[in-house]
Structure 1
Amino acid sequence: MMRLLFPLLGLLAASPVWAQQQPRQRVLTLAEALRTARERQPQLRQAQASTSAANARADQNFASLLPQVSASASYQKSLRSGTSTTTPGTTTPSGFISREGLNVGASVNQLLWDFGRTTGRWHSAQQSAEAQEATEAQTLLNVLSNVQTAYFNALAQQALVRVSQETLENEKAHLAQVQAQVQVGTRPEIDLLQQRTAVANAQVQLIQARNNAATSKAQLNQAMGVEGTTQFAVQEEAVALVQGENEPVDTLVDVAFEGRPDLRASEHQLRAQELTISATRANYLPSFSAQVSATDSGPNPANLDWGVTGQVGLSWSIFQGGLTRAQVREQQANLNNVQAQRDALRQTVRLEVERAQLAVTAARESESAAEEALTNARERLRLAEGRYRAGVGNIIELSDAQLSATNAAVQRVQAAYNLATARTELARALGRAAGPTA
Structure 2
Amino acid sequence: MRASLPLALLLLAAAPASAQTPAAPAPAPTPAAAPAAPAPVRVLTLREALQNAQERQPQLRQAQASTAAANARVDQGFSSLLPQVSANAAYQRSFSSGTTFGTTDPTSGIIRREGFNVGLSANQLIWDFGRTTGRWRVSQQTAAAQKDTETQTLGNVLANVQTAYFNALAQQVLVKVAEETLQNQQTHLDQVRAQVQVGTRAEIDLLQQQTLVANAKVQLIQAQGNAAATRAALNQAMGVEGGTDYAVQDEVVDLVQGEQRPPEELVDVALQNRPDLSAAAHQLAAQEQQLSVTRSNFFPSFNVSVAATESGPNPANLQWGVTGQLGLNWSLFQGGLTLAQMREQRANIRNVQAQRDALRQQVRLEVERAQVLVTTSRESVSAADEALRNAEERLRLAEGRYRAGVGNIIELADAQLSATNAAVQRVQAAYNLATARTELARALGQTPLGNGT
Of 270, 287, 303, 2:317 maps to 303
Task: Provide the residue aligned with 1:63 in structure 2.
Answer: 79
Match for residue 319 of structure 1?
A: 333
Distance in 2 (alpha carbons) for counterparts of 1:432 and 1:305: 70
Please tell me whether the aligned partners of residues 80 and 97 of structure 1 are also in contact (alpha carbons under 8 angstroms): yes
Map of 1:39 onto structure 2: 55
TM-superposed CA distance for 1:94, in Å, is: 5.0
2:406 paired with 1:397: no
The code of the aligned residue for 1:413 comes to V
1:91-146 Cα distance to aligned partner (Å, 9 max, x none): 36554332111111121111100111111110010000000000000000000011
CA contact (8 A) 2:305 2:325 kept: yes
Q: Which amino acid aligns with 1:60?
A: Q
Residues 92 and 98 in structure 1, CA contact (< 8 A), matched pair in contact too: no
Indicate which of 115, 126, 139 corresponds to 2:153: 139
Distance 1:290 1:55 in 2: 29
- For the 8 Å contact 2:254–2:449, the answer to whether it is kept is no
Conserved 8 A contact 1:276-1:331: yes
Q: Which amino acid aligns with 1:85?
A: T
Matched ranges for 1:242-281 at <5 A: 242-281=256-295
* Aligned positions, number: 416
RMSD: 1.3
Task: Give distance in 2, aligned partners of 1:330 and 1:220.
Answer: 45
Aligned to 1:29: 45
State which drifts further: 172-181 or 71-80. 71-80
Structure 1 residue aligned with 2:303: 289
Tell me the equivalent position of 1:50: 66
| CA distance in 2 between partners of 1:339 and 1:23 (Å) | 58
Letter in 1 for 2:214: A
AA in 2 matched with 1:258: Q
Query: SS in structure 2 opposite 1:238?
Result: coil
Mapped contact 2:253–2:449 kept (Cα < 8 A): no
Give 1:300-379 correspondences, 5 Å limit.
300-379=314-393
Q: Sort the Cα spacing of 1:22 and 1:408 in 2 relative to 1 into closer, same or farther, 3 A.
A: farther
Distance 1:346 1:92 in 2: 88
Deviation of the 1:305 alpha carbon: 1.3
TM-score (norm 2): 0.90
SS state of the match for residue 113, structure 2? strand
Give the 3 Å change call, closer, same or farther, for CA 366–181 of structure 1 in structure 2. Answer: same
Larger radius of gyration: 2
The amino acid that maps onto 1:364 is: R
Cα shift at 1:332? 1.1
TM-score with structure 1 setting the length: 0.93
Q: Is the 8 A contact 1:90 1:99 kept in 2?
A: no
Structure 1 gaps of 5+ residues are 1-20
Give CA deviations for 1:347-384 in whole Å, capped at 9, x if unaligned: 00000000100000000000000000000000000000
Aligned-partner Cα distance in 2 for 1:22–1:350: 52
**Cα distance in 1 for residues equivalent to 2:162 and 2:77:** 40
Match of 1:87 among 101, 120, 124: 101
**Counterpart Cα distance in 2 of 1:52 and 1:230:** 34
- C-alpha separation in 2, matches of 1:130 and 1:40: 24
2:438 to 406, 424, 431: 424
**Displacement of 1:337:** 0.7
SS at match of 1:228: coil
Amino acid at match of 2:47: A
Q: What secondary structure is seen at the aligned counterpart in 2 of 1:303?
A: coil
In the aligned structure 2, how far is the partner of 1:234 from the partner of 1:113? 63
Cα deviation digits, residues 187-224 of structure 1 (max 9, x gap): 11111111111001000000000000000100111111
Is 1:128 the equivalent of 2:126? no
| Distance (whole Å) between structure 1 residues aligned to residue 437 and residue 233 of structure 2 | 20
Distance in 2 between residues matched to 1:337 and 1:226, nearest whole Å: 38
Taking the aligned partners of 1:22 and 1:80, their CA distance within structure 2 comes to 93
Identical amino acids, percent of aligned pairs: 72
Indicate whether 1:382 and 2:396 are aligned.
yes
| Local SS of the residue matching 2:318 | strand
